[in-house]
């Protein structure tokens, strides 16, 4: 009989794995922020085009990243069983599916201009966004492969390299943006196209670092990840596909909730939309902590399931939820007590609308205190369920919670009930809270009872 691991040991293991993942998530956000800021220095129309193009790229990326994300629980479970051959099989087919999706979706980005025009975008912005996507889209395969290797390395509890590779990418991206957007250091001035080239180059470099690490690190050579890479493995292919497509759709449903919120906030007013963007950016930064812990929980729970250790599965889940809740409580206190200094970081003090935007964003951050608790719970529940390779029912729960409850609740509270932007954010809380409750019920109802009995 295995000796029961203490909660403190579970917490240490989760933090050792989770902290580098949190850092890499924040570094990935920094890539987006630096692109936005530096293109914003170049021109307003160019900024609008890059925001539109990057948002389109991100939506398509999220949809296809489910295959890459499926690698994490599958590899963790295989390691728990001691099946190192299956580790290679699952990861390789995750890489295959990522390549196939990236190639298949590229035509959408290449001919994105007419699509964006049909969605009501201005002609000049749509044309520049298409220029951006035609180049940036060439990096979709690399971006998805990075995600797959991140899942593989995280499942092996070697997430540190992901952090350092992403940080190196941030530095490279800033340097290339400076050269190619503005024409500095003798480079051609390419504007939006320069930003896209910088993004693709950054993705390729990051991918190269991770491939070299995965292939040549002494502790990882035994997996022979890229040996006979061209050979298909149809059972593993279908298993990764079966687990991965619901993950991609779940991410799309959640992203759709926030896209709809931004659209509706724009109906309320430009100042309100600016405040919404700032409050959401601050919430997204703190969400990276919960996402990193959720990924770590996926690995730990997957390992426990692979070993057939239901006690470790339950204890690991309880510890992960407790850590995420602790982070949420700290963030709630910060959002309620000192919102203004954080908001002012995003604003020019000389802007005459700055005081009004600050006040409105502070109100939204007060609602985000509730938002934090619900959001941390739902993403942790998703991580736990992915650890036990349960993705289809969570996808259905997400679609109902976000699109059938969250979006209508936001609209009803904001407009018919007259609560404006505050009501819109309360609707987000409703959708996320419903998802959190149903997803947690799914995990504990299906796995918690057996684990309690085993204890």
d(CA 48, CA 52): 6
Count of other CB atoms within 10 angstroms of residue 2 = 9
Q: Is residue 112 part of a domain?
A: yes
Q: What is the pLDDT of residue 348?
A: 67
- Torsion angle of the four alpha carbons 82, 84, 85, 86, in this order, in degrees rounded to the nearest 10: 70
Q: At what angle do helices 270-307 and 140-155 cross, to 10 degrees?
A: 40
* Pair (63, 131) in one structural domain: yes
* Pair (192, 303) in one structural domain: no
Kindly state the average pLDDT of the residues 9-16: 90
Q: What are the tens digits of pLDDT across the range 234-249?
A: 999 999 999 999 999 9
Q: Is residue 238 part of a domain?
A: no
Tokens representing 96 are 């295959």
Which range is least confidently modeled, 112-121, 177-186, 383-392? 112-121
* Pair (135, 38) in one structural domain: yes
Tokens representing 164 are 């350092």
Q: Domain boundary residue among 179, 209, 232?
A: 232
* Pair (214, 287) in one structural domain: no
- Picking from 283, 307, 303, 447, the residue whose alpha carbon sits closest to that of residue 365 is 283
CA 215 to chain CA mean position, Å? 26
| pLDDT for residue 37 is more than 80 | no
At 389, the pLDDT band (50, 70, 90 cuts) reads: very high
| pLDDT for residue 259 is more than 90 | no
Q: Is residue 141 part of a domain?
A: yes
Q: Is residue 69 part of a domain?
A: yes
- Enclosing domain of residue 343: 245-455
| pLDDT for residue 395 is more than 70 | yes
Instruction: Say how many domains are in the chain.
Output: 2
**Exposed (0-12), middle (13-18) or buried (19+): which is 99, by Cβ within 10 Å?**
middle
d(CA 443, CA 425): 27
At 43, the pLDDT band (50, 70, 90 cuts) reads: confident
Place of tokens 């992960």: 320
Under a CB-based contact definition with an 8 Å cutoff, are residues 21 and 300 in contact? no
Under a CB-based contact definition with an 8 Å cutoff, are residues 298 and 159 in contact? no
CA atoms lying within 13 Å on the CB side of residue 133: 31
Q: What is the CA radius of gyration of the chain?
A: 22
Q: What is the pLDDT of residue 448?
A: 65
Q: Is residue 179 part of a domain?
A: yes
* Pair (54, 115) in one structural domain: yes
Q: Is residue 27 part of a domain?
A: yes
At 451, the pLDDT band (50, 70, 90 cuts) reads: low
Q: Domain boundary residue among 172, 205, 232?
A: 232
Q: Is residue 320 part of a domain?
A: yes
Q: Is residue 237 part of a domain?
A: no
For the chain, the farthest-separated pair of C-alpha atoms sits apart, in whole angstroms, at: 69
Q: Domain boundary residue among 232, 253, 279?
A: 232
Q: Give residues with Cβ within 8 angstroms of 74, minimum separation 6.
A: 86, 90, 94, 155, 239, 240, 243, 302, 389
* Pair (46, 188) in one structural domain: yes
* Pair (28, 170) in one structural domain: yes
Kindly state the average pLDDT of the residues 370-391: 92
* Pair (40, 75) in one structural domain: yes
Which range is least confidently modeled, 61-75, 319-333, 356-370? 356-370
Q: What are the tens digits of pLDDT across the range 210-229?
A: 999 999 999 999 999 998 88
* Pair (175, 310) in one structural domain: no
| pLDDT for residue 453 is more than 70 | no
Q: What are the tens digits of pLDDT across the range 109-155?
A: 999 989 888 877 778 888 988 999 999 999 999 999 999 999 999 99
| pLDDT for residue 352 is more than 60 | yes
Q: What is the pLDDT of residue 350?
A: 74
pTM here is 0.89
Q: What is the pLDDT of residue 450?
A: 57
* Pair (224, 296) in one structural domain: no
* Pair (202, 250) in one structural domain: no
* Pair (387, 249) in one structural domain: yes
At 431, the pLDDT band (50, 70, 90 cuts) reads: very high
- The per-type count for the chain, helices as H runs and strands as E runs, is 18, 0
Q: At what angle do helices 354-387 and 392-399 cross, to 10 degrees?
A: 150
């Amino acid at each position: 009989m295995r000796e029961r691991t203490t909660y403190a040991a579970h917490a240490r293991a989760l933090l050792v794995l989770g902290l580098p993942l949190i850092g890499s998530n924040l570094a990935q956000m920094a890539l987006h922020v630096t692109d936005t800021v530096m293109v914003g220095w170049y021109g307003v129309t160019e900024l609008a085009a890059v925001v539109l193009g990057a948002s389109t790229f991100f939506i398509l990326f999220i949809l296809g990243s489910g295959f890459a994300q499926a690698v994490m629980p599958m590899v963790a479970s295989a390691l728990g069983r001691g099946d190192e051959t299956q580790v290679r099989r699952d990861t390789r087919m995750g890489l295959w599916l990522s390549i196939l999706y990236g190639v298949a979706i590229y035509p959408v980005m290449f001919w994105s201009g007419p699509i964006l025009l049909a969605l009501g975008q201005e002609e000049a912005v749509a044309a520049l966004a298409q220029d951006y996507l035609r180049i940036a889209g060439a990096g979709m395969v690399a971006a998805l492969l990075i995600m797959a290797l991140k899942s593989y390395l995280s499942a092996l509890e070697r997430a540190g390299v992901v952090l350092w590779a992403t940080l190196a990418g941030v530095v490279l991206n800033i340097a290339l943006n400076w050269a190619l957007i503005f024409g500095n250091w003798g480079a051609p001035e390419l504007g939006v196209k320069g930003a896209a080239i910088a993004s693709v180059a950054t993705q390729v470099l990051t991918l190269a670092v991770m491939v070299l690490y995965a292939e040549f690190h002494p502790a990882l050579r035994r997996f022979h990840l890229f040996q006979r890479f061209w050979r298909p493995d149809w059972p593993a292919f279908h298993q990764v596909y079966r687990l991965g497509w619901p993950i991609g759709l779940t991410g799309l449903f959640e992203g759709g909730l926030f896209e709809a919120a931004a659209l509706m906030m724009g109906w309320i007013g430009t100042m309100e939309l600016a405040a919404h963007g700032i409050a959401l950016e601050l919430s997204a930064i703190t969400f990276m902590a919960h996402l990193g812990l959720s990924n770590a929980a996926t690995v730990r729970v997957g390992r426990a399931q692979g070993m057939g250790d239901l006690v470790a599965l339950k204890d690991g889940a309880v510890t992960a939820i407790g850590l995420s809740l602790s982070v949420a409580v700290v963030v709630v206190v910060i959002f309620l007590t000192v919102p203004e200094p954080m908001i002012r970081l995003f604003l020019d003090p000389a802007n005459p609308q700055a005081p009004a935007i600050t006040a409105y964003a502070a109100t939204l951050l007060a609602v985000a205190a509730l938002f934090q608790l619900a959001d941390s719970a739902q993403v942790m529940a998703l991580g736990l369920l992915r650890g036990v390779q349960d993705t289809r029912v969570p996808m259905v729960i997400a679609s109902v919670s976000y699109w059938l409850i969250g979006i209508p609740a936001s609209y009803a509270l904001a407009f018919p009930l007259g609560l404006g932007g505050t009501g819109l954010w309360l609707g987000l809380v409703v959708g996320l809270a419903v998802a959190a409750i149903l997803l947690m019920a799914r995990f504990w109802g299906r796995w918690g009872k057996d684990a309690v009995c085993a204890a």
